[in-house]
């Protein structure tokens, strides 16, 4: 039930109340009917919360709830038609997308009024019947969950296919047990000898969902012994709905091969994988395996035929029969639940926040231990419970209420569903439940961004209210789901941009939606039967059955009531296939190359709000697309062959998002789309038939704007007419020109820039001045001699909210902008590829006041001629700078002001800094990386330095006054002996990557020439490469009276 009655009925009731207040009932001849409907809804609402609650476990209630839901959906369809009729009369400009007053406009057309009035009467009768039936269920008034949600600290406006990867979340690691399990598995995988099968040995981790199998596999995958023991390491998230071709492609990519050249044929993919693995000792991790066919039928042959002796496969699975099917060695590694104390530590990690400190949480240990035991000490359940308790608060009575809740004892749910997730769901405010349930329908095989998810929620009516705030409100809901640990951020993205839902959580949510939604997956043998047995409202298709012809477009056409259709695979199409039958469709996300016939019927989808065409092989959109009057989100970014949009696109005046292909042109008349919030890849072209920058002027609601090919703007007046400075809601602005730089970071000879071109682009960018509220700015490919005047002096435009500034490919600029230093909230400044900047002068900082007061990270790269940086000690600046990255420049020395002012600097990274001869006196730095600095001679006086990485710095002779050094990494395959400075330092750990000859001198120990340089180090791990395998040969040393020295080097390997 993606619809939650309590929330959705409030939405419909709000719309009907608007109609009644405007006196539409009299005009339509249904005087009093709308009032009655509103009264019935108010009466129903008193016990809808109880109906929603009982619908989970009480089959007698489920039919009644289904009838009411269908009636509510019918109500929204009627009101859509009202709005469309009003728009047809040319009155849409007075409408607010968040208010439903369109019936007022129907009075001018009696036939329309009669049609709509009749439908409202019928719907009213249905509600009357539904209300009468409700008496039999003895519903109680739960006050819209006030007993739960009133204690939730987040207001109605919210608070700020599980694809796994090899990296792991350290916050989920607690206790000693996982360390013991990791050591045992590593030992099992690494064992060799005459009694060990040196063929492809399979090791299995077995355990129930959410118990930590993936986390354990990630720990093993990242173990030092594993990393050095295998030349190829591949992580594959398999999942229940794996696609054989996609699985092989990801394996090829993981092995460093080229999957594109192999096409889609399984034999060709096998050959490509074997070529990538040939003679490599390989570790393949297959996470979340549901069917042994993923190994036996897909990956076993190429590994067995190509990988080197001693290669291993590690699988994780819930089903011991899968371990048997892949012939894993016995005994399988069964993962146990956490011990109570470790479960309590994990719970504490989840609950602690800025408002609830660890010391206070520790006082609740007794009750916390009882709660984690009710969670079965299952890691995912403990994490979800932690999210719930964090929302409830830190009072003892809050935790006691959760512990004593009767829902722990619910017995009518399937045994495989987790009661902790159910309890978290019950404590969730109703507005959030719909969003949570809908998220579970998103295919696991594809990444959906935060913006895409929020747009779908809006399209379904789950987020409503003031039209101006819908995206912001949806983002708050999204953050609330993260806070409750119901969706988990992917840490390879920033700002919660991508999240995933754990299978245990997803299983519960999909169970809750079973009366409305069907999610198809590979392995489902009864998909066609399911499609034929029930009328669904939402379809999510990620099965690959289309390749065998079992699932084609005709198979879906019985689902005439569907409101959401998401397909991430190619569905078999035939001439004449159409979308017309899906007359209630509101959300369509389709990924298929052959949908030309479907696109022709798009205009007939009157209720459509969200349309995403991904990797679709179309070159034109139908000319009548402008009839989709209610369309709010249009994503065409994947339609790479689409060059021109039809003229009628400018009639879609409800559009909030338009994402365009890179080469696409927009017709004139675009200025009427004043509801636009996000406009991506807008080409600044000036062909007479196409839209130019000046048509952006009226788009005052823009939040995100991406402008490309700005070099084509012939006059600054066009840019001025875009009126960016007046767009008070704009928070992200990306201004792109086509780059004039080549791969070497220098201006291309054939792309020389004339003085006229420079002056023109300077004037254009000057007129593209952003508003004061801007938070994110990216300028790329700009070729003026100086940056825009509004960047040179913040007195012109006080960009007080700007926190991120990225500047790439500055072909002709000779200086960095002077005005940035006074930006009060700038946290990240990154400049890449600026070949004409030779000097960063005093203008970059200002003497009058502290410069860059909140800058956290500064990255300056590709400034290939930069030699001098002026900054005197008395000039206060960058007090909060934590990370500094300098790359590919000629800087001779650091300015005096950097070391004395950057008191928070923790990480310093220097790559290809050519003339730098010394690094000294950075008291706060804890990590230093120097790579390819040919003139570096001395590193001194870094008293807090803990980790030092030195790569290819041949002149470095002195390391002094680095007493806190814990770890040293040396990498240089040209050096013939260890550096002399090794005698003067005493790190605990040394990691060395060197030539085989030097490694042989290390393995000689006390009798070798290098002993005095490394014997004082507690642990040494030294490696020499062989081809692509950087750790083919190794030496391991542990200091002590009876020191240990282990190596796999043989005399034949050296000579």
What residue ranges do the domains of the chain occupy?
5-144, 176-334, 340-508, 966-1055
Q: What is the mean pLDDT of the chain?
A: 83
Give the per-residue pLDDT at 413.
66
Average pLDDT over residues 582-595: 86
**430-439 helix and 470-483 helix, angle to the nearest 10 degrees:** 80
In the chain, % of residues over pLDDT 90: 38
Question: How large is the C-alpha radius of gyration of the chain?
Answer: 32
Local structure of 181: helix, strand or coil: helix
Give the per-residue pLDDT at 544.
55
Contact by Cβ (8 Å): 563, 537: yes
What pairing do the DSSP bridges indicate for beta strands 1019-1026 and 610-614? unpaired
Give the per-residue pLDDT at 181.
87
Average pLDDT over residues 72-77: 85
Read off the tokens for 718: 């066009």
Local structure of 254: helix, strand or coil: helix
Min mean pLDDT across 283-297, 371-385, 409-423, 967-981 is at: 409-423
CA distance 311 to 227: 13
Contact by Cβ (8 Å): 16, 123: no
Contact by Cβ (8 Å): 167, 219: no
Distances (CA, A) of 549 to 152, 360, 904: 50, 60, 62
Distances (CA, A) of 1051 to 511, 1000, 1006, 1036: 63, 9, 18, 17
Residue 608 has pLDDT above 90, yes or no: yes
CA distance 985 to 891: 27
Average pLDDT over residues 187-206: 76
Give the per-residue pLDDT at 152.
37
Read off the tokens for 917: 């001869």
Give the per-residue pLDDT at 1001.
92
Give the per-residue pLDDT at 308.
87
Residue 19 has pLDDT above 70, yes or no: no
Average pLDDT over residues 222-244: 83
Residues contacting 944, CB < 8 A, separation 6+: 923, 924, 925, 926, 964
* Nearest of 529, 566, 522, 511 to residue 548 by alpha carbon: 522
pLDDT band at 160 (very low <50, low <70, confident <90, very high): very low
Taking the model in full, what pTM does it have?
Answer: 0.79
Alpha helices in 677-782 (DSSP H): 716-721, 755-767
Average pLDDT over residues 843-869: 89
Superfamily designation of domain 176-334: P-loop containing nucleotide triphosphate hydrolases (3.40.50.300)
pLDDT band at 151 (very low <50, low <70, confident <90, very high): very low
Residue 573 has pLDDT above 60, yes or no: yes
Residue 777 has pLDDT above 60, yes or no: yes
Residue 717 has pLDDT above 80, yes or no: yes
User: Can the peptide bond before residue 331 be classed as cis, meaning omega within 30 degrees of 0?
Assistant: yes
In tens, the pLDDT along 983-1026 reads: 989 999 999 999 999 999 999 999 899 999 999 999 999 999 88
Give the per-residue pLDDT at 738.
93
Give the per-residue pLDDT at 563.
94
> Which of 116-120, 366-370, 558-562, 868-872 has the highest average model confidence (pLDDT)?
868-872
Residue 149 has pLDDT above 70, yes or no: no
Give the per-residue pLDDT at 148.
40
In tens, the pLDDT along 386-395 reads: 888 887 777 8
CA distance 804 to 318: 44
Helix (H) or strand (E) holding 152: none
The DSSP annotation for 221-246 comes to HT-HHHHHH-SEEEEEE--TT--HHH
What is the torsional sign of CA 165, 170, 172, 174?
positive
CA distance 1016 to 284: 37
Beta strands in 476-537 (DSSP E): 488-489, 499-500, 517-520
What pairing do the DSSP bridges indicate for beta strands 1029-1038 and 1044-1047? antiparallel
CA distance 584 to 589: 15
In tens, the pLDDT along 48-61 reads: 777 777 777 777 78
Give the per-residue pLDDT at 92.
41
CA distance 392 to 404: 14
Residue 103 has pLDDT above 50, yes or no: no
Residue 315 has pLDDT above 70, yes or no: yes
Read off the tokens for 84: 């469309």
Min mean pLDDT across 399-408, 557-566, 1034-1043 is at: 399-408
Residue 1055 has pLDDT above 50, yes or no: no
Matching residue, tokens 């689902």: 559
Give the per-residue pLDDT at 153.
35
Residue 155 has pLDDT above 60, yes or no: no
Min mean pLDDT across 2-11, 407-416, 627-636, 936-945 is at: 407-416
CA distance 173 to 168: 9
Residue 719 has pLDDT above 90, yes or no: yes
Residue 262 has pLDDT above 70, yes or no: yes
Average pLDDT over residues 700-710: 95
Average pLDDT over residues 368-375: 85
Beta strands in 901-1014 (DSSP E): 907-913, 918-920, 927-931, 938-940, 947-951, 958-960, 967-971, 989-994
Average pLDDT over residues 1022-1051: 84
Give the per-residue pLDDT at 466.
74
Give the per-residue pLDDT at 658.
96
Residues contacting 469, CB < 8 A, separation 6+: none
């Amino acid at each position: 039930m993606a619809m939650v009655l309590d929330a959705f009925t409030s939405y419909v009731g709000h719309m009907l109340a608007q109609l009644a207040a405007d006196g539409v009932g009299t005009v339509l001849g249904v005087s009093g009917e709308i009032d009655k409907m509103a009264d019935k809804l108010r009466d129903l609402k008193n016990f809808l919360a109880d109906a929603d609650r009982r619908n989970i476990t009480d089959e007698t209630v489920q039919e009644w709830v289904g009838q009411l839901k269908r009636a509510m959906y019918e109500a929204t369809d009627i009101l859509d038609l009202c709005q469309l009729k009003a728009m047809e009369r040319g009155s849409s400009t007075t409408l607010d997308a968040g208010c439903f007053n369109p019936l007022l406009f129907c009075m001018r057309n009696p036939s329309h009024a009669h049609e709509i009035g009749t439908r409202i009467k019928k719907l009213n009768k249905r509600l009357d019947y539904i209300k009468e039936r409700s008496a039999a269920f003895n519903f109680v008034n739960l006050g819209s969950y006030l007993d739960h949600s009133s204690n939730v600290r987040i207001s109605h406006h919210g608070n700020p296919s599980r694809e796994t990867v090899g990296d792991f979340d350290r916050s989920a690691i607690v206790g000693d047990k996982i360390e013991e399990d990791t050591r045992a598995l590593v030992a099992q995988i690494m064992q060799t000898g005459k009694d060990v099968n040196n063929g492809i040995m399979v090791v299995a981790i077995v355990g129930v969902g959410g118990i930590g199998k993936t986390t354990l596999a990630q720990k093993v995958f990242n173990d030092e012994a594993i990393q050095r023991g295998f030349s190829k390491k591949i992580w594959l998230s398999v999942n229940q709905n794996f696609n054989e071709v996609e699985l092989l492609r990801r394996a090829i990519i993981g092995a460093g091969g080229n999957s594109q050249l192999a096409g889609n044929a399984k034999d060709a993919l096998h050959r490509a994988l074997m070529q990538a693995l040939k003679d490599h000792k390989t570790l393949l991790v297959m996470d979340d395996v549901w069917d042994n066919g993923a190994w036996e039928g897909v990956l076993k042959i190429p590994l067995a035929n190509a990988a080197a002796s001693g290669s291993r496969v590690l699988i994780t699975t819930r089903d011991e029969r899968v371990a048997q099917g892949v012939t894993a060695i016995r005994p399988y590694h069964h993962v146990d639940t956490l011990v109570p104390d470790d479960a309590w530590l994990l719970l504490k990690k989840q609950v602690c926040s800025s408002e609830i400190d660890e010391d206070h949480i520790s006082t609740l240990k007794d009750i916390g231990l009882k709660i984690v035991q009710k969670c079965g000490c299952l890691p995912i359940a403990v994490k979800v419970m932690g999210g719930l308790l964090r929302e409830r608060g830190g009072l003892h009575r809050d935790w006691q209420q959760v512990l004593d809740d009767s829902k722990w004892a619910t017995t009518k749910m399937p045994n495989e569903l987790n009661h902790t997730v159910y309890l978290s769901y019950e404590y969730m405010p109703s507005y959030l439940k719909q969003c949570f349930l809908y998220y579970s329908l998103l295919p696991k095989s594809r990444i959906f961004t935060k913006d895409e998810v929020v747009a779908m929620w809006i399209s379904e009516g789950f987020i409503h209210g003031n039209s101006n705030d819908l995206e912001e409100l949806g983002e708050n809901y999204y953050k609330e789901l993260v806070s409750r640990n119901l969706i988990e951020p992917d840490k390879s993205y920033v700002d919660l941009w991508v999240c995933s839902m754990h299978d245990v959580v997803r299983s519960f949510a999909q169970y809750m939606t079973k009366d409305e939604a069907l999610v198809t997956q590979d392995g489902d043998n009864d998909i066609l039967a399911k499609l034929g047995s029930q009328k669904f409202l939402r379809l999510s298709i990620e099965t690959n059955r289309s390749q065998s012809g079992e699932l084609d477009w005709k198979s879906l056409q019985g689902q005439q009531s569907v409101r959401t259709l998401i397909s991430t695979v190619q569905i078999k199409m035939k001439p004449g296939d159409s979308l017309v039958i899906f007359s209630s469709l509101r959300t369509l996300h389709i990924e298929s190359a052959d949908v030309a016939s479907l696109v022709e019927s798009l205009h007939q989808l009157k209720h459509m709000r969200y349309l995403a065409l991904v990797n679709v092989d179309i070159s034109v959109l139908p000319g009548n697309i402008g009839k989709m009057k209610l369309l709010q989100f249009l994503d065409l970014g994947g339609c790479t062959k689409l060059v021109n949009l039809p003229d009628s696109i400018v009639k879609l005046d409800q559009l909030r998002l338009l994402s365009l292909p890179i080469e696409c042109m927009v017709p004139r008349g675009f200025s009427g789309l004043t509801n636009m919030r996000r406009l991506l890849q807008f080409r600044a072209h000036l062909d007479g038939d196409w839209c130019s920058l000046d048509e952006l002027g009226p788009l005052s609601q823009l939040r995100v704007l991406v402008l490309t090919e700005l070099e084509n703007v012939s006059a600054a007046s066009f840019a001025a007419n875009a009126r960016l400075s007046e767009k008070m809601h704009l928070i992200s602005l990306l201004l792109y020109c086509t780059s004039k730089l080549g791969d070497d970071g220098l201006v291309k000879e054939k792309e020389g820039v004339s003085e006229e071109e420079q002056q023109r682009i300077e004037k254009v960018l000057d007129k593209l001045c952003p508003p004061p509220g801007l938070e994110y700015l990216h300028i790329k490919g700009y070729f003026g001699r100086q940056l825009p005047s509004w960047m040179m002096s913040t007195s012109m435009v006080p960009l007080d909210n700007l926190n991120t500034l990225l500047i790439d490919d500055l072909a002709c600029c000779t200086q960095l902008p002077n005005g940035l230093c006074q930006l009060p909230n700038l946290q990240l400044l990154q400049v890449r590829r600026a070949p004409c900047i030779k000097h960063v002068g005093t203008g970059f900082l200002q003497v009058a006041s502290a410069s860059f007061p909140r800058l956290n990270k500064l990255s300056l790269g590709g400034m290939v001629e930069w030699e001098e940086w002026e900054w005197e000690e008395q000039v206060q600046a960058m007090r909060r700078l934590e990370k500094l990255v300098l790359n590919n420049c000629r800087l001779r020395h650091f300015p005096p002001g950097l070391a004395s002012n950057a008191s928070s600097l923790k990480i310093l990274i220097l790559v290809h800094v050519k003339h730098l001869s010394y690094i000294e006196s950075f008291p706060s730095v804890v990590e230093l990386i120097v790579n390819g600095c040919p003139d570096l001679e001395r590193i001194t006086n870094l008293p807090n330095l803990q980790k030092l990485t030195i790569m290819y710095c041949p002149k470095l002779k002195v390391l002094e006054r680095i007493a806190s050094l814990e770890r040293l990494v040396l990498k240089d395959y040209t050096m013939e002996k260890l550096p002399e400075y090794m005698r003067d330092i005493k790190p605990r750990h040394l990691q060395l990557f060197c030539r085989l000859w030097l490694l042989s001198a290390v393995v000689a120990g006390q009798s070798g020439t290098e002993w005095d340089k490394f014997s004082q180090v507690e642990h040494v791990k030294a490696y020499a490469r062989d081809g692509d395998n950087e750790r083919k040969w190794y030496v391991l040393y542990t200091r002590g009276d009876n020191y240990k020295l282990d190596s796999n080097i043989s005399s034949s390997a050296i000579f």
